[in-house]
């Protein structure tokens, strides 16, 4: 699907972007891969590891519509991964988060439509489902923009879909590197915000594979949600530092005890497939009439029961300490 094609990744220097590009280059022979992000140092460092002739590095901000239009010239596929994603930072700097995550999404859509990009996948987060923090609210707004964008594209134009998943093991700013840093510094206890807290848990490779899979599956308009395990924060801390005491530090601004991925209110338009869910659009697309219970790969799903919610507390799949270690999730 990506052989001979031109692909642009906003936020290509981030945790997701780098792993996505590594996988792309190992499995396909793309014609051109464009990294689009702001910081020249991160791009310089990335160039040391990714110096293949097809690689291009564009300095640019997703807030800058004109630059995005320029960067997407001749591009076939876009992955929109650029975001401000730290919950507390978004609570204290709401307008900055809105400019990047919402206005940036609008700009990506505009540039993709203008350049007749074939398919766009935007990354979302469980925090966008029933959001309680500004980060999640901006990602929900972004999800809505990408779903609605299919109406602007018409029947033959760009298809836009969303991939929504939970905490990525080991990504920048996440809890595993944080705990490990404290451990390396000789901490006598690990801080946890609440003993009952649960989170969805996905590895970077699983997240990247899910995005690749959904480029093939998408009609446009879906929110794709993978079935992934949950972890209890106490068990995660025990897996990283067996026997070390835990110190309760209280829930942070904008934090939830448990995360939701498919809200109960969306159950009437949520389909369950073998390894994922699809939240179908609630709006009708004027020039497209897709059956979201059957994807472009021919896989079929069933509508979930009314009131069904996919959340990290009621998840049937929980990782134990032993499984966390066994599955190498703490590395
Ligand atoms: N990590 C997780 O646990 C997780 C979970 C669920 C969903 N997600 C979503 O997955 C996506 C990727 O996350 P990640 O973990 O890879 O994040 P990350 O490591 O923090 O990378 C973010 C990337 O976005 C770029 N960026 C930030 N602001 C930008 C702007 N205004 N214009 C252009 N580029 C900008 C950053 O580079 P510069 O700073 O140089 O611009 C960087 O390349 C995000 O959309 C996030 O919401 C992440």
Do residues 55 and 30 lie in contact, with contact meaning Cβ atoms separated by under 8 Å?
Answer: no
Mean pLDDT across the chain: 94
The C-alpha atoms of residue 173 and residue 164 are separated, in whole angstroms, by 19
The pLDDT confidence band at residue 258, using thresholds 50, 70 and 90, is very high
Percent of the chain with pLDDT over 90: 80
Phi, psi (degrees; rounded to nearest 5) at 300: -115, 150
**What average pLDDT does the segment 180-204 reach?**
91
In this predicted structure, the answer to whether residue 323 has a pLDDT above a threshold of 60 is yes
Do residues 191 and 247 lie in contact, with contact meaning Cβ atoms separated by under 8 Å?
Answer: yes
**274-288 residue pLDDT tens:** 999 999 999 998 888
pLDDT given for residue 207 in this prediction: 96
Atom 26 (ligand 1) nearest CA: 82
**What average pLDDT does the segment 215-236 reach?**
95
Report the nearest atom of ligand 1 relative to the CA of 13. Answer: 43
Taking the centre of ligand 1 as the mean of its atom positions, its distance from the CA of residue 86, in whole angstroms, is 10
The C-alpha atoms of residue 17 and residue 252 are separated, in whole angstroms, by 27
SS3 state at 236? helix
Q: In the chain, what are the domain boundaries?
A: 6-165+204-226+263-308
The C-alpha atoms of residue 159 and residue 161 are separated, in whole angstroms, by 7
Phi, psi (degrees; rounded to nearest 5) at 249: -115, 0
Taking the centre of ligand 1 as the mean of its atom positions, its distance from the CA of residue 85, in whole angstroms, is 7
Query: β-strands 55-59, 167-168: how paired?
Result: unpaired
**What average pLDDT does the segment 224-238 reach?**
93
Q: Does the beta carbon of 39 sit less than 6 angstroms from any atom of ligand 1?
A: yes
Q: Which of 57, 68, 80, 82 to mutate to test the pocket of ligand 1 (most atoms within 8 A of CB)?
A: 82
In this predicted structure, the answer to whether residue 62 has a pLDDT above a threshold of 60 is yes
Q: Which of 37, 59, 138, 210 to mutate to test the pocket of ligand 1 (most atoms within 8 A of CB)?
A: 37
In this predicted structure, the answer to whether residue 134 has a pLDDT above a threshold of 90 is yes
Taking the centre of ligand 1 as the mean of its atom positions, its distance from the CA of residue 79, in whole angstroms, is 11
Other beta carbons less than 10 A from residue 306's beta carbon:
9
Six-digit token string for 23: 């996988």
Phi, psi (degrees; rounded to nearest 5) at 246: -110, 140
**What average pLDDT does the segment 255-278 reach?**
96
List, in sequence order, every residue forming a beta bridge with 311; answer none if it has no partner. 260
Residue 256 designated active-site? no
Q: Does the beta carbon of 103 sit less than 6 angstroms from any atom of ligand 1?
A: no
The C-alpha atoms of residue 48 and residue 36 are separated, in whole angstroms, by 16
Nearest CA to 306 out of 269, 273, 256 is that of 269
Other beta carbons less than 10 A from residue 199's beta carbon:
22
- Cα 183 to chain center, whole Å? 28
**70-118 residue pLDDT tens:** 999 999 999 999 999 999 999 999 999 999 999 999 999 999 999 999 9
Q: Does the beta carbon of 85 sit less than 6 angstroms from any atom of ligand 1?
A: yes
Q: Does the beta carbon of 123 sit less than 6 angstroms from any atom of ligand 1?
A: yes
**What average pLDDT does the segment 283-298 reach?**
91
pLDDT given for residue 324 in this prediction: 79
State the catalytic residue, choosing from 127, 139, 144, 256.
127
Report the nearest atom of ligand 1 relative to the CA of 42. Answer: 40
pLDDT given for residue 217 in this prediction: 98
Write the CB contacts of 312 (distance below 8 Å, at least 6 apart in sequence): 126, 166, 198, 199, 200, 230, 258, 259, 260, 261
- Residue 94's Cβ-count burial label (10 Å; 0-12, 13-18, 19+) is middle
Q: Which of 83, 90, 231 to mutate to test the pocket of ligand 1 (most atoms within 8 A of CB)?
A: 83
The C-alpha atoms of residue 167 and residue 190 are separated, in whole angstroms, by 19
Taking the centre of ligand 1 as the mean of its atom positions, its distance from the CA of residue 125, in whole angstroms, is 11
CATH second-level architecture of 6-165+204-226+263-308? 3-Layer(aba) Sandwich (3.40)
Q: Does the beta carbon of 42 sit less than 6 angstroms from any atom of ligand 1?
A: yes
The C-alpha atoms of residue 282 and residue 269 are separated, in whole angstroms, by 7
pLDDT given for residue 108 in this prediction: 98
Any idea what DSSP says for residue 315? -
Q: Does the beta carbon of 82 sit less than 6 angstroms from any atom of ligand 1?
A: yes
In this predicted structure, the answer to whether residue 325 has a pLDDT above a threshold of 80 is no
In this predicted structure, the answer to whether residue 331 has a pLDDT above a threshold of 80 is no
Atom 12 (ligand 1) nearest CA: 81
pLDDT given for residue 329 in this prediction: 58
Among left, alpha and beta (phi > 0; psi -120 to 50; other), residue 11 is left
pLDDT given for residue 180 in this prediction: 87
**What average pLDDT does the segment 168-175 reach?**
78
Percent of the chain with pLDDT over 70: 98
Do residues 265 and 210 lie in contact, with contact meaning Cβ atoms separated by under 8 Å?
Answer: no
The pLDDT confidence band at residue 173, using thresholds 50, 70 and 90, is confident
């Amino acid at each position: 699907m990506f052989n001979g094609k031109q692909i642009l990744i906003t936020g290509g220097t981030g945790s997701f972007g780098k792993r996505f590009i590594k996988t792309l280059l190992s499995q396909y022979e793309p014609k051109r891969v464009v990294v689009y992000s702001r910081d020249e140092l991160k791009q310089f460092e990335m160039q040391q590891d990714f110096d293949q002739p097809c690689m291009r590095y564009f300095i640019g901000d997703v807030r800058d519509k004109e630059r995005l239009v320029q960067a997407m010239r001749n591009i076939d596929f876009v992955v929109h991964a650029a975001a401000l994603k730290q919950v507390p930072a978004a609570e204290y700097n709401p307008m900055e988060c809105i400019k990047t995550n919402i206005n940036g999404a609008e700009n990506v859509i505009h540039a993709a439509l203008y350049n007749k990009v074939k398919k766009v996948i935007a990354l979302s987060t469980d925090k966008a489902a029933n959001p309680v923090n500004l980060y999640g609210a901006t990602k929900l707004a972004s999800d809505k923009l990408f779903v609605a964008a299919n109406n602007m594209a018409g029947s033959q134009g760009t298809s836009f879909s969303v991939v929504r998943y939970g905490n990525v093991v080991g990504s920048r700013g996440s809890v595993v590197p944080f705990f490990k840093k404290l451990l390396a510094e000789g901490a006598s206890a690990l801080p946890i915000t609440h003993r009952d807290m649960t989170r969805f848990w996905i590895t970077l490779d699983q997240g990247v594979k899910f995005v690749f899979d959904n480029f093939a599956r998408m009609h446009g308009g879906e929110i794709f949600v993978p079935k992934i395990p949950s972890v209890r924060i106490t068990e995660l801390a025990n897996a990283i530092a067996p026997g070390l005491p835990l110190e309760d530090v209280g829930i942070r601004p904008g934090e939830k005890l448990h995360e939701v991925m498919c809200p109960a209110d969306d159950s009437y338009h949520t389909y369950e497939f073998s390894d994922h869910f699809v939240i179908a659009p609630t709006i009708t697309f004027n020039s497209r009439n897709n059956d979201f219970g059957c994807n472009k790969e021919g896989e079929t799903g069933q509508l979930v029961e009314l009131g069904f919610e996919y959340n990290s507390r009621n998840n049937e799949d929980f990782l134990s300490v032993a499984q966390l270690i066994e599955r190498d999730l703490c590395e």
